[in-house]
Amino acid sequence: MKRVIVIGGGVAGMQTALRLADDGCDPLILEKEGELGGKLRDWYVLFPTFTPASEVLAELKGRVIRRGIEVRTSAEVAAFTPHSVTLAGGETLACDAVVVATGFTLFDARIKEEYGYGIYDNVVTSADLERMFAEGRVAKSDGSRPRRIAFLHCVGSRDEKVCQSHCSRVCCITGVKQAMEMKRLFPEADVFNFYMDIRMFGPGYEEMYREAQQRCNIHFVRGRISEASPTIDGRIQIKAEDTLTGRPLKMSVDMLVLLVGMRANDSNARFAAQSGVERSPSGFLAPKSLFLDGVRSTAEGIFYAGTVTAPKSVGECVCEGYAAADAAAEYVKER
């Protein structure tokens, strides 16, 4: 049987391995963390249905286990070619093809210094908020209930100042989802979302946005927050332009949530240099074609699944798992 190594055990990698097994190949998942699941392990519920992430993850992991797919955790990849993968420890594994499903890196909000993340209490990221939801303890740092909450879209996305010109796509709908969750937890609180554009690209997203506006009374202000600073009573003062009225706007809030974007992994540059695949200007790996070969790389025998090529939703990553597996299976069979 042909051995195909899947680098990365997130949703895309797991689905790729499952499909490879269906296609009659012998998949091996290499996961750098101690367990499968990738970024989804840190997420609480998923847009637009509020489905628990753990449900999706448990189902996928269950299938991987039941199917008896070989998995190596705590296995960080140092380098790969279509026919071999070298681990950080120096061990080299032979294979017939490689599917790269190494995902993305969350933007480090500290880089946007003007928002004071890591300096001011009660400035949190969307990822922090998911963790708080999962732990069932959403509150200000002093344990009290927030009365006014602001979400800021596009932190580390569409921002040339931090070398992230691309749109991370899923943060807009995440902002809507999290705003609704906050409103559910704190019905008496005012929730404001500050955005540059609202990009509701998926099925049910626009409907969810409308529900957030009309039913949940969440205020959407078109304008990017320019800075956050502390107030004497331990709140956060934010400034933005309300561009639809053409006036500067300021207010103090109890919590500021930064919707952090998805950026390309630093390892992409190394992988591109070593194995001859190409990178997009955004730093994500570039597929052979955006139309007909979205899961193929520019090098023979190397395939892509998931967010290694661009920001994507969970559903899109799973779909790419099928496509990448089929493309890889077709390739190894022809050889």
Partner 1 sequence: MAAINFGYTISKPRAIDIDRNNLRKSDEILHEMPELQACIGCGSCTAVCTAGNLTSFNFRKVHTLVRRGEYEGAYEEMNKCMLCGKCRLVCPRGINTRGVAMLIKRKLGDF
Partner 2 sequence: MMKRNSWNEYQKQIADDRYYYGRSCIRQNFFPGSEKAFIDILRGDLGKDLLDDPLHSSCTGIGYHSDIVPLETIMTVVARQFALMGEAGYENFVTSCITSFGVYTEVLATWAEFPETEERTRENLFKATGREFRKPASLAHTSDVMFHFRERIAAQAARRLVNAATGEPLKVVEHIGCHYAKIFPKSGIGGSEFPYVLAGMVEAWGGECVDYPERRHCCGFGFRNYLVQANRGYSIANSHKKLESMAPYKPDFIVANCPGCAMFLDKWQYAIAEMEGTTYGENGHGIPVLTYEEMAGLVLGYDPWELGMQMHQVDVEPLLDKMGVDYDPAAKYLGRNGKYIGKPASAVVNCSATDTVYDIRE
Binding positions for partner 1, rule: CB under 8 A: 198, 210, 213-215, 217-219, 222, 239, 242, 244-252
Which residue among 59, 114, 278, 330 contacts partner 2 (CB under 8 A)? 114
With respect to partner 1, which residue has the nearer C-beta, 137 or 247? 247
Which residue among 51, 55, 92, 110 contacts partner 2 (CB under 8 A)? 110
Asked if 67 interacts with partner 2 (CB under 8 A), we say no
Residue 326, contacted partner among partner 1, partner 2, none, CB below 5-8 A by kind: none
Residue 237 C-beta: closest distance to partner 2, Å:
4
Q: Which of 242, 257, 56 is nearest to 153 (CA)?
A: 257
- Residue 210 contacts which entry, partner 1, partner 2, none (Cβ below 5-8 A, type-dependent): partner 1
Q: Which does 120 bind (CB under 5 to 8 A by kind): partner 2, partner 1, none?
A: partner 2
Distance CA(210)–CA(56), nearest Å, equals 26
Q: For the purposes of burial, counting CB atoms within 10 Å of the CB of 121, is it exposed (0-12), middle (13-18) or buried (19 or more)?
A: middle
Among partner 1, partner 2, none, partner that 137 touches (CB below 5 to 8 angstroms by kind): none
Are residues 282 and 264 in contact, defined by beta-carbon separation less than 8 angstroms? yes
For residue 248, state whether it binds partner 2 (rule: CB under 8 A). Answer: no
Asked if 163 interacts with partner 2 (CB under 8 A), we say: no
Give the pair of three-digit tokens for residue 104. 């993305």
Per CB under 8 A, does 217 bind partner 2?
no
Residue 291: which residues within 8 A CB-CB, separation 6 or more?
none
For residue 134, count CB atoms less than 10 angstroms from its CB and return exposed for 0-12, middle for 13-18, buried for 19 or more.
Answer: middle
Under the phi-then-psi rule, with left for phi > 0, alpha for psi from -120 to 50, and beta for the rest, what region is 103? left
How far apart are the C-alpha atoms of 132 and 221, rounded to whole Å? 25
Does the N-terminal peptide bond of residue 311 adopt cis geometry, omega within 30 degrees of 0? no
* Closest CB 248 distance from partner 1, rounded Å: 4
Pick between residue 91 and residue 113 the one whose CB is nearest to partner 2. 113
Please state, in angstroms and rounded to a whole number, the distance separating the CA atoms of residues 38 and 44.
Answer: 13
Give min distance, CB of 182 to partner 1, in A. Answer: 16
CA dihedral 196, 202, 206, 208 (to 10 degrees): -110
Provide, rounded to whole angstroms, the least separation between the CB of residue 135 and partner 1. Answer: 30
Q: How far is the CB of 121 from partner 2 (least distance, A)?
A: 9
Which of these ranges, 40-48, 118-126, 180-188, 316-324, lies near partner 2 under the rule CB under 8 A? 118-126
Site residues (vs partner 2, CB under 8 A) = 110, 113-114, 116, 118-120, 227, 229-232, 237, 252
